[in-house]
Amino acid sequence: MKQYSPDKIRNVAIVGHGGAGKTMLVEHMLYTAGATDRVGSVDAGNTQSDFDPLEIRRKISLNATVLPLEWHDTKINLIDVPGYPDFIGDLHGVARVVEAMIIVTEAKRDLDVGFELAWEIAEQHGLATCIFVNKLERDNADFSGLMETLHERYGRKVVDCQIPIGHQAAFSGVLDLLNMKVYKGRDRGVEIDEVPNGYSDEAARLRDKMMDSAAEGDDDLALKYLDGESLTEAEIEHGMLVGIETGRVVPVLLGSAASGIGVATLLDRIVGELPSPVDVPKTINEQPLEPKVNGPFAAFCFKTTADPYVGKINYVRVMSGTLKADQHVLNIGKDAEERIHNLFVAHGKGQETASEVVAGDICAIAKLVSTSTGDTLTSAKDRIEIPAIEYPEPIYRIAIKPMTKADEDKLGTALTRLRDEDPTFKNYRDPATHQEILEGMGDIHLDTIIEKLKSKFGVNVGIEEARVPYRETVRISAKAQGRHKRQTGGKGQFGDCWIELDPLPRGSGFQFENKVVGGAIPKNFIPAIEKGIVEAMDRGLVAGYPVQDIKVTVYDGSYHDVDSSEMAFKTAGALALKAAAEKAQAVILEPMLEVQVDVPDDTVGDVVGDLNGRRGRLAGMDPVAPGKTRINATVPMATMTRYALDLRSITKGRGRFRQSVATYEELPHPEQQKLVEEYAKIRAAHETEH
């Protein structure tokens, strides 16, 4: 593939809900442009973009895939983006490096959640947006219903640019309102200059509306149009380009990804009406970064893949300047130098070696040492830093357990690689529950992580429910003695201390104070007392959970010149805490989540009722968008284990939520008793074994 200047490049994300037909649309675009010699099939598992074995097995896209093609002396970098909300991380990353999104939707009245997500992110990033209506040949296709919904939801910015010829099974082509020609059949097919009978009036009406939209974007065109003159095809296209660039116009094109109808005209519109990197330079810290080939160098890593054999591959958009093979660059965020050993243009899973890549273009680099998603590569002289990608926080968690010692040894490295690949995935070891916790965007997301552990890294794990990280504390103050005395022949052990145990406000942690006077306990033994108390806190007071929000003051005690030791006073400290806790009304605390739930207005009642059933406390509701409400609540973590799945069910996938640990509160007494009894049974069983 030859090199193109920035004005001859189009970076376009193909987005939309899972199952809308994005991957098949990309297949036909590649075939129509001559980039491939066949059209693959999702069912057959031989498409250009879904090449990962997991994608082939599941028959859905799991990874964003870069697929370049050439059309009318222009390079189009298509990026096929997964449509399921579980994989929204790729959508956030890709949005940073494209100028336009084509949202693919089925011809039906209701908009899918994937459509709404893509629309929101396109608006958030100021991207040019185009809608491609797919599956018009389906028996239940409802094009007019869809257009009513789009106009009702998004207003006059949604502009009809084509009319379907035929309905459902009779769908045979598209009437393009730009040139008033009909395109029938696969790919470009047959071009017909005459408007078919029965379509003239609607075509004239919609073309006038399209001219209205085109004229609004350019003062000269507006004057000409207001004077009653019709706009030429070139003028309409120019006016549409200006409107699309500014977000004032969202054109609607249509066709069939299965048969290829409408694909060639879609490619025409990408070249003619979607902006190049030159048209809409990316803004860095409120300043445009012009995509100049000879300008200062900056490139942004928007995706990373981890392969146990090939190593890391970083997908990069060159924002400014030129990236060359064997060039030394600076990862500015990590202050690390990288050398570009393996520079290539990605074609799905295929690769084409490149000697250089210019501003505005997208490439891949293998085997960088320090670079990961969200990093900026620049030169030591230019030192440009592009802000990192803001990803949504995980909303679903499970626990895993390696099946064998060999799996345990490999697990840490594998999880690190997977975090490099997917920033919406997190893992950590929970000290309260002693579990390895995985966090992600949903059950499908974490299912694929588990599958990748096995298929990519040979790590087998079992899945457990993630236990709640309860804590323990005390309600009132108490004093107690801890005395450890043992004589077994020879030197004995003696440690004796008195402590005062006080509750602290939530979130205070642990405080220790020494008030011993008169040498009752030598100063060198005080740290041992504190250490014994801290270790006892980790073991818990009543149910085995870590203790927090307490203050311990050691104020008196005694010692023996010969038998006292650090170990003895450490034991005494632990005994003192246990004795004081029995008087201080030890209780169990549960983590409370601060939850924000955005839902359609018609589901607010059901969602609020569900939160109440989870012992949630409603903090208020606010409108966040037309037809959407944000519900604020504080909810116990213990009741939120499957909330991501339950909310999806209640709202038909349209609800979204964010959560963060707000505080710890006392667990209701019945639940406390259950945990205490469970802990007693575990201890009894353990003592029986030993």
Q: What is the pLDDT of residues 247-273, one digit of tens each?
A: 999 999 999 998 899 999 999 999 999
- Mark whether 578 and 601 lie in a shared domain: no
Instruction: Give the confidence band of 685 by pLDDT, cuts at 50, 70, 90.
Output: confident
CB 318 within 8 A of CB 359: yes
pLDDT reading at 473 higher than 90: yes
- Assess if residue 322 is contained within a domain: yes
d(CA 657, CA 593): 12
- Secondary structure of residue 681 in the 3-state scheme: helix
pLDDT reading at 690 higher than 60: no
pLDDT averaged over the chain? 91
- 565: domain range? 472-584
What CATH number is given to the structural domain containing 423? 3.30.70.870
pLDDT reading at 525 higher than 80: yes
What CATH number is given to the structural domain containing 137? 3.40.50.300
Q: Locate the DSSP E strands across 156-246.
A: 158-160, 162-165, 173-176, 181-184, 190-192
Instruction: Give the confidence band of 190 by pLDDT, cuts at 50, 70, 90.
Output: low
- Mark whether 58 and 105 lie in a shared domain: yes
Average pLDDT over residues 7-14: 97
pLDDT per residue over 307-360, tens digit each? Answer: 766 678 999 999 999 999 999 999 999 999 999 989 999 998 888 999 999 999
Average pLDDT over residues 434-449: 93
Burial zone of 292 (CB within 10 Å; 0-12 exposed, 13-18 middle, 19+ buried): middle
**Partners of residue 146 on adjacent β-strands:** none
- Mark whether 83 and 112 lie in a shared domain: yes
- Assess if residue 526 is contained within a domain: yes
What CATH number is given to the structural domain containing 313? 2.40.30.10
- Mark whether 459 and 488 lie in a shared domain: no
- In this prediction, residue 1 carries a pLDDT of 75
Residue with tokens 């069910």: 649
What CATH number is given to the structural domain containing 597? 3.30.70.240
Dihedral of the alpha carbons of 241, 244, 248, 254, in degrees to the nearest 10 = 110
**Partners of residue 657 on adjacent β-strands:** 597
- Assess if residue 343 is contained within a domain: yes
- Mark whether 144 and 269 lie in a shared domain: yes
pLDDT per residue over 89-104, tens digit each? Answer: 999 999 999 999 999 9
- Mark whether 246 and 316 lie in a shared domain: no
147's tokens = 């257009």
Angle between helices 219-226 and 200-216 (to 10 degrees): 140
- Assess if residue 386 is contained within a domain: no
- Mark whether 455 and 477 lie in a shared domain: no
- Mark whether 222 and 176 lie in a shared domain: yes
- In this prediction, residue 278 carries a pLDDT of 96
Residue that finishes a domain, picked among 584, 600, 620: 584
- Assess if residue 682 is contained within a domain: no
Residue that finishes a domain, picked among 433, 467, 501: 467
- Mark whether 537 and 604 lie in a shared domain: no
- In this prediction, residue 308 carries a pLDDT of 65
Could you tell me which of 557, 626, 631, 545 has the C-alpha nearest to residue 595?
Answer: 631
- Mark whether 171 and 315 lie in a shared domain: no
Average pLDDT over residues 676-681: 90
pLDDT reading at 489 higher than 70: no
Instruction: Give the confidence band of 689 by pLDDT, cuts at 50, 70, 90.
Output: low
CB 282 within 8 A of CB 384: no
- Assess if residue 373 is contained within a domain: yes
Looking at per-residue confidence, does 426 or 433 come out higher?
426
- In this prediction, residue 226 carries a pLDDT of 83
d(CA 225, CA 220): 9
| Amino acid, single-letter form, for residue 68 | P
- In this prediction, residue 46 carries a pLDDT of 85
Average pLDDT over residues 109-117: 91
Mean pLDDT is lowest, of 84-88, 572-576, 686-690, for 686-690
pLDDT reading at 188 higher than 60: no
Q: Locate the DSSP E strands across 274-348.
A: 282-284, 287-289, 298-307, 311-320, 322-324, 328-331, 336-339, 342-347
Sheet with strand 328-331: strands edge to edge:
336-339, 328-331, 376-378, 298-307, 311-320, 362-366, 342-347, 350-353
- Assess if residue 387 is contained within a domain: no
Q: Which helix (H) or strand (E) holds 103?
A: strand 100-106
Structural domain total, the chain: 5
Instruction: Give the confidence band of 186 by pLDDT, cuts at 50, 70, 90.
Output: low
- Assess if residue 531 is contained within a domain: yes
Average pLDDT over residues 160-178: 91
Mean pLDDT is lowest, of 37-51, 113-127, 234-248, 593-607, for 37-51
What CATH number is given to the structural domain containing 481? 3.30.230.10
List % helix, strand, coil for the chain (3-state, nearest 5): 30, 30, 35
Residue that finishes a domain, picked among 467, 484, 516: 467
- Mark whether 269 and 303 lie in a shared domain: no
Looking at per-residue confidence, does 210 or 229 come out higher?
210
Average pLDDT over residues 580-605: 95
Percent of the chain with pLDDT strictly greater than 90: 72
Instruction: Give the confidence band of 189 by pLDDT, cuts at 50, 70, 90.
Output: low
- Mark whether 101 and 20 lie in a shared domain: yes
- In this prediction, residue 528 carries a pLDDT of 96
